[in-house]
Amino acid sequence: MPYRRILTAGVSAFMLIAMATSGDASTAPASSTAAGGQCDFDWEIGTWHTTVRVLAEPLSESADEWLQFSGTSVVRPLLDRRENVVELKVAGPSGHIDALNLRLYEPAAQRWSLTFVNARDGLLNPAVYGGFHDGVGEFYGDDQLGGRPIKVRFLVFRQGQDTARFEQAFSADGGTTWETNWVAIDRR
């Protein structure tokens, strides 16, 4: 399926879905909250109802078909809440997505890495790196799409106590322009 690359490239999601990078993460912003950012995702622990829109053909001339999915996102703490894992299970007319997003906090760099794995192929994608600033999570990395290098951006917006929005975008021009290809809305 055409959307398979998005799902294996990373999300995110988030939460979900995050997808991708191992490139120059030194330019990713560090987290600035108390405890060095180690508690940045504590608000998300628990079960969420999730709706996901995935761009069927990212970075293509036919980039106008969005695939729809819904289901659950369960965020579980690991290692005394210093790390966490997101389990995403969504389905729609185009199929289903079963995925994990492993979030690890690196205290020395005061940043998070988000690593996505799609259960379909079982492969870890390159991580995206970053943290939260003024309530918005920003995570960046490098990956490939169709054999060409791309930049990946993953954003987390907390929209109140019981709603959050996650967006992933790709850039084929080194980060000058971005095309959003994954949008997930989580509600309690």
The residue segments making up the domain with residue 175 are: 4-187
Q: What is the CATH number of the domain that holds 147?
A: 2.40.128.20
pLDDT digits (tens, 9 = 90+) for 108-121: 999 999 999 988 88
Give residue 139's pLDDT.
98
pLDDT digits (tens, 9 = 90+) for 16-72: 333 333 333 333 444 444 466 889 999 999 999 999 999 999 999 876 899 999 999
Query: What global pTM score does this model have?
Result: 0.81
- Structural domains of the chain, count: 1
Long-range contacts of 83-88 (CB under 8 A, 24+ apart): 84/41, 84/44, 84/45, 86/12, 86/13, 86/14, 86/15, 86/16, 86/17, 88/11, 88/12, 88/13, 88/14, 88/15, 88/16, 88/17, 88/50, 88/52
Local confidence band at 1 (pLDDT 50, 70, 90 cut-offs):
very low
